[in-house]
Every structure is written in C-alpha cells, then in structure tokens.
Amino acid sequence: MRSRELLIGASCLAVGLAGGFFAANSLNRQDVIATSSPSTSSATNQSVTVPASGMQADVTATLQKADSEPQNFAAQMQAGDMYAQIGRFEQAIEYYKRGVVINPQNFQGNVVLANALFDSQRFDEAESYYSKALQIKPDDANARTDLGTTFVERPNPNYPRAIEEFQKARQADPNHLPSLYYLGIATLRKGDREGARKILTDLEKAGPTSDLVGRLRQNIDAPSPAIQ
C-alpha cells in the first residue's frame, strides 16, 4: 500500500495517545487566524512526538489494527489522526469516515472528519459533518464557528449564512473570540466595512490582548479585504 509506505517513511510524526482523535478543531489548526492561544477544542488528550527509531513499528501496528479490526472505532480514528497530522488528508478522511460509520453519534468523530474535509478544501462535505456534530451538541461554539467558516472559504461564499452561524456561536458563548473575528471578516467581505469596524470594537473589548484584534484590523484597513 503506497500511502502506508509514505506514512511510515515520514521523518517526523505526532502520534496521539489513547483517544488521540480528539484533535483541535480546524480553526485552530489553520494559519487563517494565526493565534497563539491554546486550542479551543474540548479535547483534553495531548499528542507526543515519537522518536524516529520507534516510529515505524508504532505506525505499522496502528494501521494494521485499523485494517484488521474494521469495527474498532478508536483504531479507525487513530489511523486517521496519523495521516491528518502529516497533511495526508485524503487517507485521514478514509479512516475517519470508517469511524463515523461505526459510531455516527460521536460528536468529536464527526468534527475531526469535518476538519480533514475542511483542510482538503471540500467545504460542502465539511459543512455536512459539522452540521451532524451540531445535531449532537448544538451549543458547541467551536463547531458552529467552523461550520460558518465553510461558507466564508468556499469558492462561492455565502456570507449571510456564515454570519448567521457566527451569531449562533456567540449566543452559545458570548466571549468566543474566533466567532467574533470571523463575524467581522464575513461582514467585511459582504461589503460592510463600517459594520466590520463596529465588530472590531467588540473584539477589542472581549479580547484586548488577542492576536485576532490585529488580524481583523489589518483586514479592515487593507485596500482589498482578504482573510489573513
């Protein structure tokens, strides 16, 4: 299997511990907002970097377990993590989808699958899995913001729908800075620069030391607004 050979041959791979599929959401893995704040995911499990000498055996064992135990939810998600952490999202999606088929009501499983689809720029598909996750946990501001971001990033943006989702995220968590930031971006992209400035003021009040304040200001002041 060529993809497995490429994975095993990688020079560095972050391998999750038990439950490692509880990954950070896509917003916090992107350079889009470039914030140094801790992950806003509900995850509590951390990942460690495995020394190269022990990597091949660990990777082989994890993939073999996923392939030999097709009904093992955790094994599918851990294999997906391995691929996602080296940017091989198509392979990650394959394993994550297997996991979600096994356990369709797992909130975080749907989120990490949506994340991988997001990172593959498959925004329509990512939307569907963020939506599934939100059916399970409607008040999760992270997933709600990620859902809204799919409407900003796609080739034919839907800014009104994005704004609706960001506002819902803020209703769930009024101090959720990413949703406020993206609300400003979507408002700006829609052509309402003054409205975006008002949102910048709210962002400054909510998170005066956040990197997102400078990011939003930079976008507002740019001649041609663009997410940075």
Identify whether residues 24 and 111 lie together within a single domain: yes
Identify whether residues 107 and 12 lie together within a single domain: yes
Is residue 51 scored above 70 in pLDDT?
no
Average pLDDT score over residue span 80-87: 91
pLDDT at residue number 223: 82
Residue 130 lies inside a defined structural domain of this protein: no
What is the residue type of 30? Q
Q: Domain of 69?
A: 1-125
Tokens of 131: 């939506």
Average pLDDT score over residue span 192-205: 96
Vertex 132: Cα angle to 126 and 138 (nearest 5): 115
- Confidence at 58, pLDDT banded by 50, 70, 90: confident
CB 171 within 8 A of CB 184: no
Longest alpha-carbon distance in the chain: 57
What does the alpha-carbon distance between residue 166 and residue 111 come to, in Å, rounded to a whole number?
A: 17
Greater model confidence, 182 or 30: 182
pLDDT at residue number 125: 97
What is the residue type of 116? A
CATH number at residue 182: 1.25.40.10
Instruction: Output DSSP code: residue 15.
Output: E
**pLDDT tens digits, one per residue of 131-159:** 999 999 999 999 999 999 999 999 999 99
Beta strand 47-49 pairing with 14-16:
antiparallel
What does the alpha-carbon distance between residue 160 and residue 167 come to, in Å, rounded to a whole number?
A: 11
Is residue 219 scored above 60 in pLDDT?
yes
Identify whether residues 149 and 96 lie together within a single domain: no
pLDDT at residue number 7: 43
User: What is the residue-averaged pLDDT of the chain?
Assistant: 80
3-class secondary structure, 98? helix
Q: For residue 222, what are the CA distances in angstroms to 128, 150, 190, 200, 203?
A: 33, 23, 15, 14, 18
Is residue 28 scored above 90 in pLDDT?
no
pLDDT at residue number 50: 41
Contacts of 87 (CB under 8 A, 6+ apart): 119
What does the alpha-carbon distance between residue 124 and residue 52 come to, in Å, rounded to a whole number?
A: 37
Tell which of 91, 125, 159 closes a domain: 125
**Candidate ranges 3-17, 51-65, 75-89; pick with highest mean pLDDT:** 75-89
Tell which of 97, 125, 153 closes a domain: 125
What does the alpha-carbon distance between residue 105 and residue 99 come to, in Å, rounded to a whole number?
A: 11
What does the alpha-carbon distance between residue 212 and residue 204 come to, in Å, rounded to a whole number?
A: 9
Tell which of 125, 146, 178 closes a domain: 125
Identify whether residues 95 and 159 lie together within a single domain: no
Residue 133 lies inside a defined structural domain of this protein: no
